[in-house]
Structure 1
Amino acid sequence: MPLYHPEATNHQVAAGDPVVGRDAIIRDARGFFTAFPDSTTTLEAMHQDGEWVMIEWSGGATWQGEFAGRPPNGKTFQLRGCGFFHIVDDQIRFQRGYWDRAGWFLQLGIAVE
């Protein structure tokens, strides 16, 4: 069974508009992992309340592929954030994440707009 429901929504608040639909979420993830193939994430804490799961995480990576229309520059980043997941019938229906876009882009050498 796929992780995301076909009509799931992933709203990474710092990234802007929500991504709707499993196929779009997969495309987004592929784009990220193409740009940052050595990405790591450490689960710092996890809490569950019924159909909701909340996590705190830390992670980082090296910029190795095209990202945001820009070529890679080999810079690394470290971030911390949190995510909220609504899980129904073993599939994510809704996800919302919070992390520091300005701090991330600063580490990568991208101007924050």
Structure 2
Amino acid sequence: MTPKDLIEAWVKAFNEGNAAKLSDFYHDDAVNHQVANEPIEGKSAIFEMFSDEFRQAEMTCIVEQILEDGEWGILEWKDPLGLRGCGFFHVVDGKIKFQRGYWDRLSFLRMHNLPIPKE
């Protein structure tokens, strides 16, 4: 599976709110680092992250564009509430080895009426 194909399938599973299907796209030792949060290491921890997030908020990923460069796929996205972001996916042997995402956490929390942590 190419990085672009994988990202397209990932977006479909994300929009279904399917944490199990999403976690299947990752290597057992994958890292998912959404820069607004601490890095998550390991497929099972990534599953838990998505499960928690889907319980907290209804999220939809609208693809703006998907780019591919070798083993890397880049997703530029928006959501129906106006939040925008991008993600970088390092795909090795058809699965995500490393993912990094950039988005505005404070805007996300406000848009979904979630508590804002005191840090």
With structure 1 as the length reference, what TM-score do the two structures score?
Answer: 0.76
Q: 1:30 to 1:111 in 2, by over 3 A?
A: closer
Render the CA deviation track for 1:33-66: whole Å, top value 9, x for unaligned.
1222x42110101110000001100115xxxxxx
- The equivalent of 2:33 in structure 1 is 11
**Structure 1 position 47 matched with structure 2 position 67:** yes
- The equivalent of 1:35 in structure 2 is 56
- The equivalent of 2:76 in structure 1 is 56
Q: Secondary structure at the match of 1:102?
A: helix
- Kindly indicate which of the two structures has a greater share of residues assigned to strand: 1
Q: In the TM superposition, what is the alpha-carbon distance from 1:7 to its structure 2 partner?
A: 0.2
Q: Which amino acid aligns with 1:94?
A: F
State which structure, 1 or 2, has the greater radius of gyration over its C-alpha atoms: 1
Q: Secondary structure at the match of 2:61?
A: strand
Contact kept, 8 Å, 1:78 with 1:104, in 2: the verdict is: no
Work out the number of aligned pairs and report it: 95
- Unaligned ranges ≥5, structure 1: 61-76
Provide the alpha-carbon RMSD of the alignment. Answer: 1.9
Q: 1:110 to 1:34 in 2, by over 3 A?
A: closer
With structure 2 as the length reference, what TM-score do the two structures score?
Answer: 0.72
Identity between Structure 1 and Structure 2 (%)? 44
- Kindly indicate which of the two structures has a greater share of residues assigned to helix: 2
Aligned mate of 1:111, from 103, 110, 116: 116
Separation (CA, whole Å) in 2 of partners of 1:53 and 1:93: 12
Q: 1:34 to 1:106 in 2, by over 3 A?
A: closer
Moved over 4 A (4+): none
